[in-house]
Amino acid sequence: MNKKKIILISGSIFVILSVFLLFIPIAHQLSTNKKIDAIEQQFQDFSKEENREEKLKRFKSLTDEYQTYQRDKGTNGKLTETYSHTLSEMKQYFTDNDQIVLRDNTIIELEKENDLETLQTKKSNLESLLNTISQEKEILSNDSTTEETITKIHETIEKMNSRIQTLTEEQEKRAKIHYENEYFTIDFPEKWIDKWSVRKNKNTEGNITYFVSYAGDNPSFPMGAGIIDIHVFTNGTSYSEKKQPDLKLFGTTSKNDKVYLGTGTSGTIIGEKGGKLTLK
């Protein structure tokens, strides 16, 4: 083989090796870009999901994929950064959503909230959130922010339980001195607990009579005890003064029902020292 051929072959080998060595990083970059595109597409699919459970499945899928990459000793810095950043963005959704649920179900002025149904609904929502976080714990690997949220939820539920108990006790106490029907309410003094009663009687004339009685402080010595009749003439019925001359008009309800008071037998059943009658 002459000198020219050797030089030609050597030059060809050099060119081939140069092209090959040049192609390796290009191919590597193309492969990396393809994987990054796939990761970013997974994030787009995650963002489009409206259901939290489905979002969690996509988060877990990408987490498993990243862990496999790490076990295979992946050393691509750009790919590692993309995995880490994307999973962090996904996880932020759950953190933000937890904060929104906590915020929406936290009552700032709890001592002023008197609606038991509202309290119980918000408490139930927080308990559901707590259960959700607990179930997702192994997948999301709770961080300090999540632990702070869990602590805050427990504290909020505890305060709500205290408020619910207070309102329940107040309602139970009020029920012992409160009477209500579709026409009026009566609130009796606390000392009248277990000493008052209301009996309803529908008359043939179409009106309704309620007999309100008070047993007095001492049943064996009924001083101060008494009874009074409250007559309701519903809208469409009329009061006859000739038939019931002793009735006195107390007022008219919002539905235009007329309410009259009888004379009573003794004692002050309705009034300043007795029950407070309020029309609806």
Return the SS3 of 258: strand
Q: pTM for the complete prediction?
A: 0.68
pLDDT for 151: 95
| Pairing of the two strands 178-180 and 184-187 | antiparallel
For 39-48, 84-93, 114-123, 211-220, which range has the lowest pLDDT when averaged over its residues?
211-220
Are the CB atoms for 175 and 183 separated by under 8 Å?
no
Task: Classify each residue of 181-204 as buried b or exposed e, where b means 16 or more C-beta atoms within 10 Å of its C-beta.
Answer: eebbebebeeebeebbeeeeeeee
- How many Cβ atoms are within 10 Å of 81's Cβ, its own excluded? 11
Name residues whose C-beta falls within 8 Å of residue 223's C-beta, 6 or more positions apart in sequence. Answer: 216, 217
Nearest CA-CA partner of 236 in 211, 215, 208: 208
Tell me: the pLDDT tens digits for 227-268?
899 999 998 888 777 777 888 899 999 999 999 998 775 557
pLDDT for 257: 94
Tell me: the pLDDT tens digits for 8-56?
555 555 555 554 445 455 555 667 789 999 999 999 999 999 999 999 9
| Over residues 200-228, mean pLDDT | 79
pLDDT for 3: 55
Q: Which amino acid is at 112?
A: K
Task: Classify each residue of 8-26 as buried b or exposed e, where b means 16 or more C-beta atoms within 10 Å of its C-beta.
Answer: eeeeeeeeeeeeeeeeeee
CA 228 to chain centre: 45
Are the CB atoms for 186 and 210 separated by under 8 Å?
no
* Per-residue pLDDT band at 165 (split at 50, 70, 90): very high
